[in-house]
Amino acid sequence: MSALSSFIACPNVQLSLFDSFGYDNLKAEPLPLLSFILSAQNRSEVIQNQINFRDHGRKTVEVVYGQRFLESMVQAGGRVTCGTFANDGETSVLYSLTPSDGYHVGFKLTASELEERCEQDSAYIAREIFKMMDVLTRKVATNAAIQVIANGGNFASDVDAGSPAGTTTFKATTTFTSGVPQTTAVEEIAFQNMANDFTQMPFVFGGEKWWKYIKALNAIAPGAFNDGGVSASLYASQAGVTFGYDRRIQLNSSNALNAMAIIPGAVQMISFNEFKGILEMNDSTLVQGTLQHPDPALPLTFDYRAEYTCNGADQKVWNFEISLNHDFIFLPADMYQAGDRLEGVNGILTFRSN
């Protein structure tokens, strides 16, 4: 940004918090759920690529799929009857991204304020831009938690409890008994992963109670038995369930003891950059383009605009703004027919600790 080149000598010593106390208050917050959604293990670029190849306005992709047949369709008799049968057609879901999906944030800086800075302009502006990226990413992470919670699917029909298909939306399970961690919760998660016909073990995100549970399980010595002769820490390790603490799940759930189990691929983030390509600009008073988040675990691309202008009050102002046009999409809720034991299963399950 060549226009921001003034460097004013400082009459007084000016220190940062880090220089003075060894504390960085611009430290990026861990965002486990969002990092998982954006990870290579979870991410599918198929829909994203279709979204980005379209021009201005609403970006829409139609995903077509078929539902598996029910066993109730099978008739007795081992010979072809040349009978008349019902039609079987494909169904579809429409995923779309509009300009109103997502968030933006900005700030202004007057020329006089910039001249009073006791550091190089480029360093100050870079830090302010990171602050915008940071708050926007945290907002996106909150949106991810809210949408994941809202899109929790059904459990497969429960053979043990006799719950009919399409009715069970969460499972209560035991994490502690009299302060002692139990294997019940990881057993339930692992079993439901199998019972719901998932092909990969889930990633589970929850709040404080779940974090303490996993820490307590891991703290048990491998030779210590506390659940009917089962080594809790060994079982947790062999179950293959990956846990992550995410306070946004606890804050936004209807019950603070809920945890969300997600199989890779069940939720995707789609996004669109307005300033990628033809709308990019860079001159002395206007910079417009895209910026990458500096954390490789958060591969986000923001639209960025910086404009030097007069605000009508005899004041020259730099306006800075970034945006992220995005949304989260989920496996269709009707992948399986009504009455199928997997009715409403979509790869996201809700568990509740005791």
At 279-310, the pLDDT tens digits run: 666 677 888 899 999 999 999 999 999 888 87
Confidence (pLDDT) at 151? 97
* DSSP secondary structure string for all residues of 313-350: SS-EEEEEEEEEEEEEEE--TTSS-TTSTTTT--SEEE
Whether the CB-CB separation of 120 and 8 falls below 8 Å is answered with: no
Whether the CB-CB separation of 324 and 140 falls below 8 Å is answered with: yes
Whether the CB-CB separation of 248 and 207 falls below 8 Å is answered with: no
| pLDDT exceeds cutoff 60 at 225 | no
Q: How far is the C-alpha of 350 from the C-alpha of 253, rounded, in Å?
A: 10
Assign 189 a pLDDT band (cuts: 50, 70, 90). very high
Instruction: Enter the tokens of residue 21.
Output: 């106390």
Report the DSSP beta bridge partners of residue 200.
none
Q: State the sign of the Cα–Cα–Cα–Cα dihedral 7, 8, 9, 15.
A: negative
Could you state, in order of their start, the residue ranges of all structural domains in the chain? 1-8+17-43+104-354
Confidence (pLDDT) at 37? 95
Confidence (pLDDT) at 230? 47
